[in-house]
Structure 1
């Protein structure tokens, strides 16, 4: 094996696999599921116990320069928003809102705090992921 092959192997080992980013919270696991169009997609259980997705624009592929990121979330339960939102193949939902995702450290691995708001309200519901 030459130096090029070794460098390629080591570079792959330093980048986390998406499914390896899982945080435990009081609501269940927060999982880095996918990357789409420059956004990172996390799955989590919302405060009403329904599954939800967190969409974080600009975070895809960023494993070493994380901080505080504006985001939005879409849930599967009954919602109170006057407009509907959808993501991917999921049906449109009236359960959605703004979010803030704050990483404790700029590099993977790190703990995370997710702050949710309903509809266009200011995020104020805190979910801590360790």
Structure 2
């Protein structure tokens, strides 16, 4: 079974600006969902119309010092990873991977590029997320 390009995540960012900070990608709209501890949690549509989450540790409440962030993603469905990964919000799946999120500017509002990998592989697929104007 292949892992959909759900790694083609779309993300949004944390904090009180959540409703105003939305992104669009080739897969559709991305949205900020919530913060769990220091982790920003963003939702994204997957290639097969399922839902995924992007978890960005250290980004919760950070609107002025965005840069390059190590992250991970988890999506609905059966994946190729041998183990289930569970996020801080309790969402778990065997469809997950590592991610690197690189913001265009250090302050809100800004777009970003996320590079995604499957399971523990080095991220290799890029997805552009532009501000939803």
Q: Kindly name which structure, 1 or 2, has the bigger radius of gyration based on alpha carbons.
A: 1
Q: Distance in 2 between matches of 1:48 and 1:112?
A: 23
Shift of 1:101: 0.6
Shift of residue 89 of structure 1?
Answer: 3.7
Aligned residues: 115
> Equivalent residue for 1:109?
109
Structure 1 residue runs without a partner (length 5+) = 1-14
Deviation, 1:58, is 0.4
Listed one character per residue, the Cα deviations across residues 61-94 of structure 1 (whole Å, up to 9, x for unaligned) are 100110000000000022000010122243x310
Specify which structure has the higher proportion of strand: 2
> Comparing both chains, which one has the higher relative contact order based on Cα–Cα distances under 8 Å and sequence gaps of 6 or more?
2
Normalising by structure 2, what TM-score? 0.80
In 2, Cα distance between the equivalents of 1:33 and 1:94?
Answer: 21
Checking the alignment, whether the CA contact within 8 Å between 1:16 and 1:108 is kept in structure 2 is no
Q: Which residue of 2 aligns with 1:82?
A: 82
Q: Distance in 1 between matches of 2:48 and 2:121?
A: 17
Listed as ranges, the matches of 1:39-58 within 5 Å are 39-58=39-58
Which residue of 2 is the match for residue 4 of structure 1?
none
RMSD over equivalenced CA pairs, Å: 1.4
**Which structure: greater helix fraction?**
1
Normalised by the length of structure 1, the TM-score is 0.82
Q: CA deviation at 1:96?
A: 0.4
Unaligned runs of 5+ in 2: 1-14
Say yes or no: does 1:30 pair with 2:30: yes
